Amino acid sequence: MEGILFALVPMFAWGSIGFVSNKIGGRPDQQTFGMTLGALIFALGIWFVVHPEMSASLWIFGILGGILWSIGQNGQFHAMQYMGVSVANPLSSGAQLVVGSLIGALAFHEWTKPIQFVLGLIALVLLVIGFYFSSKQDNSEMAADSGLLDFSKGFRALAYSTVGYISYTVLFNNIMKFDALAVILPMAVGMCLGAMIFMKFKMSFEPVVLKNAFVGIMWGVGNIFMLLAAAKAGLAIAFSFSQLGVIISIIGGILFLGETKTKKEIRWVAIGILCFVVGAILLGIVKSY
């Protein structure tokens, strides 16, 4: 029970990042920079408490991973701007799950048993269906004011966001495996560096940037509780629950950001959420074998 409670924290923390940051405001580059500042503050706090052993390779690959992560997050913030949080977040999570699972299964042979392939393929089909229904638009006049600005730009932003996130995940999970508490500081440094590159090193510490630092602390808290959940309840539970944050982002975008949807779109989103939830749970089960 304790492990499940721990798993709920990253679900809410990561699922809330999109709508909290957009509620605070700012351009995508400002949101990314502010978030990485918060992540760096959190990482420094963890380092002072834990004092993990650091190596040159950990710093090099940790910083590289942070830069790749910043590419993913910056693209996600741009996608939210173009498509709305309630659409961009589930599409981003779904894309990461589908592409990441395929790379893990085909390139790194993470699926070795027949049951893994059966459940994994069912999960991927459900995620693709979730993709479709989460982004499906009602072409009626009611949908004209739905606040979705530019789907084509949104999908382009999601494309490079997914490349950044997947590259960072593969680097940390499949190529270089570091202790999460040790790598969090080098990664946060890389995240800040990546955010500064997006701003062309013309950093500004405006109130909207500093307020977005709170989002970075939310990200860090989610990371710590993800580790605790995996230790208490197992990776399958921790992974599955963390992916359910898409539900929080969809509800938050609609309730707190005023992203309107027609009745048809609400039904489609509900179908998409259901597919995402079942698909994520199945992938969690696959990881447990």
3-state SS, residue 50:
helix
The closest of 220, 227, 171 to 37, measured between CA atoms, is 220
Helix orientation angle between 2-24 and 235-243, rounded to the nearest 10 degrees: 30
- Across the range 87-103, mean pLDDT stands at 87
Burial 244-283 (b: 16+ CB within 10 A, else e): bbbbbbbbbbbeebebbbbeebeebbebbbebbbbbbbbb
Domain that holds residue 31: 2-288
- CB-based burial label for 5 (10 Å; 0-12, 13-18, 19+): middle
Cα 184 to Cα 68, 175, 189, 225, 251: the distances in Å are 14, 17, 9, 14, 29
Number of separate domains in the chain: 1
Angstrom distance (rounded) from CA 70 to CA 141 = 37
User: Going by C-beta distance under 8 Å and a sequence separation of 6 or more, which residues neighbour residue 187?
Assistant: 43, 62, 63, 65, 66, 69
78 and 88 Cβ atoms separated by less than 8 Å? no
CA dihedral 116, 120, 123, 124 (to 10 degrees): 180
Tell me what pLDDT residue 235 has. Answer: 64
How many residues in total does the chain contain?
A: 289
Phi/psi for 126 (5° steps) reads -65, -40
d(CA 107, CA 173): 13
pLDDT for residue 278 is more than 80: yes
**Cβ density class 213-231: b for 16+ within 10 Å, e for less:** bbbbbbbbbbbbbbbbbbe
- The model's pLDDT over 99-116, given as tens digits with 9 standing for 90+, comes to 888 888 888 888 899 999
Whole-number Å distance between alpha carbons of 181 and 283? 25
pLDDT in tens, 220-268: 998 888 878 877 767 666 777 777 788 888 888 888 888 878 888 889 9
Contact 28, 262 (CB under 8 A): no
Q: Is 237 helix (H, G, I), strand (E, B) or coil?
A: helix
pLDDT band at 142 (very low <50, low <70, confident <90, very high): very low
Which amino acid is present at 147?
G
Mean pLDDT calculated for residue range 12-18: 90
- Tens of pLDDT, residue by residue over 143-199, are 445 444 688 899 999 999 999 999 988 888 778 877 878 889 999 999 999 999 998
